[in-house]
Amino acid sequence: MNTFLKFLNSIVSIIILIFVNSIFIHVYADNINIYSIEKDNSLRLLLSSEKKILSNSFILEDPPRLVVDIENIDKFSKNNFEYKYIKKIRASKSNNKARLVFDLKVPAKNFKKNTFLKKISGEYILLIDLNLFSIQNIVNKNVIVIDAGHGGPDPGAVRNNIKEKDITLAAAKILREELLKKNFTVYLTRGSDKYIKLRNRVKFARNKSADLFISIHADSTSNKNTKGTSIYSLSEKASDKLSQALADRDNKSDLIAGLDLDDLDKDVSDILIDLSRRETKNSSISFAELFIDQLTQHNFNLLRRPHRQAGFAVLKAPDVPSVLIEMGFISNNADLKKLINPNFQKKLMKNTANIIEIYFTALK
Ligand SMILES: [Zn+2]
Cα of 164 vs centre of ligand 1, distance in Å, is 7
pTM of full prediction above 0.85: no
How far, in Å, CA of 231 to CA of 217, rounded? Answer: 10
Cα of 165 vs centre of ligand 1, distance in Å, is 8
Query: What is the crossing angle of helices 342-363 and 276-297, to 10°?
Result: 130
The whole-number pLDDT of residue 356 equals 97
List, in sequence order, the alpha helices (H) in the chain.
Answer: 3-23, 164-181, 198-207, 241-251, 253-256, 266-269, 276-297, 333-339, 342-363
Cα of 90 vs centre of ligand 1, distance in Å, is 28
Cα of 78 vs centre of ligand 1, distance in Å, is 36
**Among 41, 21, 177, residue whose Cα is nearest residue 109:** 41
Domain architecture of the chain: domains with CATH: 3-134 (2.60.40.3500), 143-363 (3.40.630.40)
> For the residues of 3-60, what is the DSSP string, one character each?
HHHHHHHHHHHHHHHHHHHHHS--SSTTEEEEEEEEETTEEEEEEEESS---EEEEEE
- Tell me the pLDDT of the chain (364 aa) as tens digits: 455 556 556 555 555 544 444 344 333 346 777 888 888 888 888 888 877 777 888 888 878 889 888 887 767 777 666 778 888 887 777 666 778 888 888 888 877 666 566 666 677 888 888 988 877 666 557 999 999 999 999 999 999 999 999 999 999 999 999 999 998 999 999 999 999 999 899 989 988 889 999 999 999 999 999 999 999 998 766 556 666 666 676 666 555 443 333 443 444 433 444 446 777 888 999 999 999 999 999 999 999 999 998 888 888 887 889 999 999 999 999 999 999 999 999 999 999 999 999 999 887 6
How far, in Å, CA of 10 to CA of 120, rounded? Answer: 14
> For the residues of 103-119, what is the DSSP string, one character each?
EESS-BS------EEEE
Cα of 163 vs centre of ligand 1, distance in Å, is 10
Cα of 239 vs centre of ligand 1, distance in Å, is 18
Cα of 255 vs centre of ligand 1, distance in Å, is 14
Cα of 143 vs centre of ligand 1, distance in Å, is 23
Query: What is the crossing angle of helices 164-181 and 342-363, to 10°?
Result: 50
Cα of 229 vs centre of ligand 1, distance in Å, is 13
Cα of 324 vs centre of ligand 1, distance in Å, is 9
The whole-number pLDDT of residue 188 equals 98
